[in-house]
């Protein structure tokens, strides 16, 4: 499992509870490669194909690329730590600018 911050991976978010995002969907890895290597969990931000314009810092829109076939919102406010066993495979990468924007949104939300 050689994942790193900025990788887009498929994650099984089931079972979901309450208003949590569920099902098999892409997510952005926010853990560093070192954290992924030594910890049993990984921090991810789920993606949704439901686009909500002008919703930064809570969401950040990504264009399709590689095996991410649809425009998607990174649901920054839905950040989660979960078992690495939920990750299925890597499907794409973020650009440096996209990763920095998502990190800026997360910092804004967390104050």
Cβ neighbours around 59 below 10 Å, total: 24
- Of the chain, the percentage scoring pLDDT greater than 70 comes to 99
Range of the domain at 57: 7-110
The pLDDT tens digits of the residues spanning 25-39 come to 999 999 999 999 999
Q: Does residue 1 fall inside a structural domain?
A: no
**How many folded domains does the chain comprise?**
1
Q: Is the confidence at residue 71, as pLDDT, over 80?
A: yes
Q: Does residue 101 fall inside a structural domain?
A: yes
Q: Does residue 88 fall inside a structural domain?
A: yes
Entry pTM: 0.94
Residue 25: alpha-carbon gap to chain centroid: 9
Q: Does residue 2 fall inside a structural domain?
A: no
Instruction: Read off the CATH number of the domain in which 21 is found.
Output: 2.30.30.110
Rounded mean pLDDT, 16-23 = 82
Q: Where do the DSSP E strands lie in 30-93?
A: 41-48, 59-62, 72-75, 80-83, 87-93
């Amino acid at each position: 499992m050689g994942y790193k911050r900025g990788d887009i991976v498929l994650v099984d978010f089931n079972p979901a509870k309450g208003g949590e995002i569920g099902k098999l969907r892409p997510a952005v890895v926010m853990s560093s490669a070192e954290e992924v290597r030594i910890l049993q969990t990984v921090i991810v931000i789920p993606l949704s194909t439901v686009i909500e314009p002008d919703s930064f810092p809570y969401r950040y829109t990504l264009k399709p690329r590689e095996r991410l076939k649809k425009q998607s919102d990174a649901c920054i406010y839905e950040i989660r730590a979960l078992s690495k066993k939920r990750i299925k495979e890597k499907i794409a990468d973020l650009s440096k600018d996209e990763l920095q924007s998502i990190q800026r949104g997360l910092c804004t939300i967390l104050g």
